[in-house]
Chains A and B, each alone.
With several copies, the nearest count.
Chain A
Amino acid sequence: MKNKKAETLEDAVSRIHDGATLLIGGFGQPGVPEVLIDGVCDLKRRDLTIVTNNAGTGHSGIARLFEEGCVAKLVCTFPWAKESFVFKELYDAGKIELEIVPQGTLAERMRTAGAGLGGFLTPTGVGTDLAIGKETMTVEGKDYVLEKPLHGDFALIKAYKVDPRGNLIYRKTGRNFNPIMAMAAGHTIVEVQEDVEIDDLDPEVIVTPGVFVDTYYVTGWYEIGKERNAS
C-alpha cells in the first residue's frame, strides 16, 4: 500500500512550489490546518495564490503567510474582518490581489473542479457586482450566472482521524470546506489529529475517501488559533 504518511512537517509540505495555488481549509478557526500553514511559511515560498474563506486572524496561521510575504493573491469570501488586519495592510498598500467569491459559489466551484465538471449555473450573485464579466443564462424562466471550476495545485486541509488509506473523518464545524478542497486539488495534504489502523474507521462514516488524499501529517490535538512561535 502506498505510504501517505509524512514523518516530518517538512516532508508534508516541501513539494509546494513558488506560484502554486493552495486551497486552505477552515471557516473561522475550526478546520484551519495551522501546522501545515506554518510549514509553508517556513519554506518561504513566494507568489502563492491562497483560496480560503477568511483573510486570517491576528498574526498566526494564514495571517503569518501574508505577513511573511508568501502570498500574491487571495480568493476568499470575507476579507474585511477586524482580526484580518495583516491582510488589510497589505491590500491597502497594493501588495496583494483580492478576488471575492460568494461562499456557496466558492465551495461549489471547488466541487465542480473535483467532480470533473466544466461549470455550473447559480442564482447567487445575479445582477450584482460579483457577476460582472460573467456569462448569464436563463433556465426555466430563472436567471443564473455561469461559474467556472476552481482547481488547486495543492489542498491543505485539517481532519480529525485518518487511516493508512487516507480515509478521513472530521470534527464538528471543523469539517466545513475541507472535504471539498480535498477533491479539488492536484495534491491534497492533510494535517490530522490522530492516525488509526486500517479498518478502524467504519466505511459507512468516512467523509473523505482516501482516493482524495495524497499526504497526511499527524499533529495530535492542539489549541486552535493560538500564536505559536515560528519553528
Chain B
Amino acid sequence: MSDEQTNLLTRQQIAARAAQDMEDGWLVNLGIGMPTMIPTFIPRERDVMFHSENGLIGMGPPPAEGEADQDLISAGKELVTMVPGGAYVHHTDSFAIARGGRLDCAVLGAFQVAANGDLCNWRLPNQTSGSVGGAMDIAAGSKRVFAMMTHTARDGAAKIVAERSYPLTAGGVVTRIFTDMAVISVTPDGLVLDEVAPGLTADEVQAVTDAPLIMNSVGTIPIAA
C-alpha cells in the first residue's frame, strides 16, 4: 500500500482535473473545501462563471491586499471579489437559480456516493445532526453534480458504494466523481471508470471501491508538470 500512497493525487491535482471538465459558458457552484480550488485551474480562454448561493453571480478570486470588502464573501465565508458582468441577488432568487436548473454544474464534497448517483454529504451516520446549508437544494437542482473527494475515508473505508448507508443529501444526482485515485462517471449502466491516477491500475482502484466499475477504456489522469 505504501507505493499506492505516493500515487494519490494531491488536492490541487484533483481540482485541476475537475477544472478540465468545466465547459465554456457554464455557470458553476462550488461547495465548501476542495471544490473552491477549481477556479485557479480553469484555462483563461474558457468563460466559466461562478455562483455563490449567498447571492453572488460572477464570484471572482480573493481580493488583492488592501482591497477586501467586508460585505463581499463566498458561501464558504471567505472574502472574494466579483467579476465584470456579475450581479447580486437575494436568497430566494439565488436558490431559484440553483433549484431551477440554471447551474450547469455543482461541484460538491461527499462522504459517500452510490452507484445510482445518490449523494451523501451533510451528516455522518453517527451524528444526530448535521449542517445542511445549501447542499440539498443545489444538489437537487443542478444540471450536473460532480462529487469531489478522497477515494476512501481516513480509515480506508470505501466512499464509493453500491448502495448508500449514510444519510441522503439528494438521490441519483451525481454525474461524475473526481477523487485522488480516479475519475468515474455515473451512468444508467453503472459506474464507469474513465481515468486512473498515473501509476495506479484499474484493479487497484476497483479494490478500494465497493461498487463494480465498468472498465471499457480506462485512461490516465493527465497531470501538469
Contact = CB atoms under 8 A, between A and B. Distances in A.
Q: Do chains A and B touch in the complex (CB under 8 A)?
A: yes
Interface of A: 1-2, 27-31, 77-81, 98, 100-105, 107-108, 111, 113-117, 122-130, 163-165, 167, 170-180, 183, 198-199, 203-204, 206-207, 209-212, 223-225
Contact of A103 (B24, B87, B132): B132
Contact of B57 (A117, A179, A209): A209
B27 interface: yes
A77 B134 contact: yes
Given A115-B99, A116-B99, A103 B137 contact: yes
A113 B141 CA distance: 12
A79 B54 contact: no
Given A30-B72, A116-B101, A198-B84, A104 B95 contact: yes
Contact of B55 (A175, A198, A212): A175
B85 A198 contact: yes
B140 A124 contact: yes
Interface string B25-56: 10100000000000000000001010111111
Contacts of B24: 2
A212 B102 contact: yes
Contact of B71 (A105, A123, A173, A210): A173
Contacts of A224: 70-71
Contacts of B129: 79-80, 98, 100
A2 B136 contact: no
28 contacts: A27-B55, A27-B75, A30-B70, A77-B131, A77-B132, A100-B129, A100-B131, A102-B132, A102-B134, A103-B95, A104-B53, A104-B92, A104-B137, A105-B137, A107-B91, A107-B95, A115-B92, A115-B95, A115-B99, A116-B96, A116-B98, A116-B101, A128-B168, A128-B169, A172-B72, A176-B91, A180-B92, A209-B87
B88 A103 contact: no
Nearest to A109: B92
A125 B102 CA distance: 19
Contacts of B58: 165, 203
A205 to B, nearest CB: 9
Contacts of A204: 88
Interface in B168-212: 168-171
Residue among B25, B52, B131 with max Cβ neighbours from chain A (10 Å): B131
A116 B141 contact: yes
B92 A108 contact: yes
A213 B82 CA distance: 20
Given A102-B137, A178-B90, A224-B70, A210 B85 contact: yes
Interface in B53-88: 53-58, 69-73, 75, 77, 82, 84-88
B87 A124 contact: no
B102 A211 contact: yes
Residue with the greatest number of chain A CB neighbours at <10 A, chosen from B72, B129, B132: B132
Interface string B120-146: 000100000111111111101100000
B219 interface: no
Nearest to A83: B77
B73 A126 contact: no
Nearest to A186: B101
A203 B71 contact: no
Contacts of A117: 99
B131 A174 contact: no
Contacts of B137: 102-105, 122, 124
Nearest to A129: B167
A173 B99 contact: no
B75 to A, nearest CB: 8
A78 B100 CA distance: 22
B16 interface: no
Given A80-B130, A124-B99, A212-B102, A129 B89 contact: no
